[in-house]
Amino acid sequence: MKRLTLVSGLVVLGLLAAACAAPVAPEPTPAEPMPEPTAMPAALPSIVDVAVGNGAFTTLVGALQSAGLVEALAGEGPFTVFAPSDEAFAKLPAGTLESLTPEQLKDILLYHVVTGKVMAADAVALDGQMADTLLEGKQLAISVDGETVMINDAKVVTADVEAGNGVIHVIDSVLLPPAEEEAMMGKTIADIAAGDERFSTLVGALASAGLVDALKGEGPFTVFAPTDDAFAALPEGTLESLTTEQLTNILLYHVVPGKVMASDAVALDGQSAETLLEGSEIAISVKDGKVYLNDTAEVVITDIEASNGVIHVIAAVLLPPAE
């Protein structure tokens, strides 16, 4: 019993000593470095500033200035702008913009703008629906085919270019309100060529060959139209040396029956198309995204629509095998 009491006393003394001992401070935890202050994102430029800085919208920017719409599209928004590129405006017959009244130009531009910020994913969800534009009472038709978004008949080629007050989608054709489209679509291929200063040599050749009335006919036709520069690249005196029959054959060789749009031509890569020159075909090829005819004539402007077909502008004159 005494032994047990002694042992118990020693244990109690040990516990008291431990309790009275100075507490041991824990090892200090290294202080975590203060986070770097997060820089606030810079404000995005307005739709107008994006268009000015892009370089692909010089015609659009000039049109906005002429119509007095720059300040409106630099406003709070948000807006969704379907912006035709310079190449899209080039599809219009030469002189079209210059012939418009300020009111007509303003209406056409407002027809390209939708209120709100509609991103590409939103547009896909709107397949088959209509969108109200800033041109009062006028709407745009939205359709989706696979990954391709169409606004009326214009293809969205670049989507979701964001701006501080909305978003820009780049389109490959100018959108025309119904009234302007009806007026323009009443023109035949021959009418459009006659009113376009780029085709003065072609128009003269058509008159000499007696083909003007044919290209005012019902059609539809697809005309690969050489510019004046393309004709000028022929050896000097070439046109003057041709018989009427030879000239007619050359011109018919530039016409394909049916309405072949640019997207159709791309799908025909490696194939040939029959022309109005009996027994003669044009070879179609696509290189680096560009369409060529007979491997030599580049299609430089596409899809100039007419009431009886479509015109594609080419950079060289096509010659039938005999010529």
Per-residue model confidence (pLDDT) at position 20: 40
* CA–CA–CA angle 37, 43, 49 (5° rounding): 155
CA nearest neighbour of 151 among 164, 137, 163, 133:
133
Per-residue model confidence (pLDDT) at position 124: 83
Structure tokens at 300: 């430089």
Per-residue model confidence (pLDDT) at position 4: 36
Per-residue model confidence (pLDDT) at position 36: 57
**For residues 115 and 138, what is the distance between their CA atoms, to the nearest angstrom?**
13
Per-residue model confidence (pLDDT) at position 187: 85
What value does the mean pLDDT of the chain take? 85
**For residues 267 and 286, what is the distance between their CA atoms, to the nearest angstrom?**
9
**Low-confidence spans in the chain with pLDDT less than 50:** 1-25, 34, 38-40
Q: Which residue has the tokens 């009996």?
A: 278
Residue 290 C-alpha from the chain's centroid = 15
Residue 27, classified by CB atoms within 10 Å of its CB into exposed (0-12), middle (13-18) or buried (19+), is exposed
Provide the residue type at 88 as one letter.
A
Structure tokens at 304: 């100039």
Domains of the chain, with CATH numbers? 47-182 (2.30.180.10), 186-314 (2.30.180.10)
Per-residue model confidence (pLDDT) at position 185: 61
**For residues 82 and 62, what is the distance between their CA atoms, to the nearest angstrom?**
16
Report the predicted TM-score, pTM, of the whole model to 2 decimal places.
0.63
**What is the sign, positive or negative, of the torsion defined by CA atoms of 259, 264, 265, 269?**
negative
Per-residue model confidence (pLDDT) at position 25: 47
Per-residue model confidence (pLDDT) at position 253: 96
Q: Are 154 and 175 in contact (CB under 8 A)?
A: yes
Determine the angle formed by the axes of helices 58-67 and 102-110, rounding to 10 degrees.
120
What three-state secondary structure class fits 104? helix
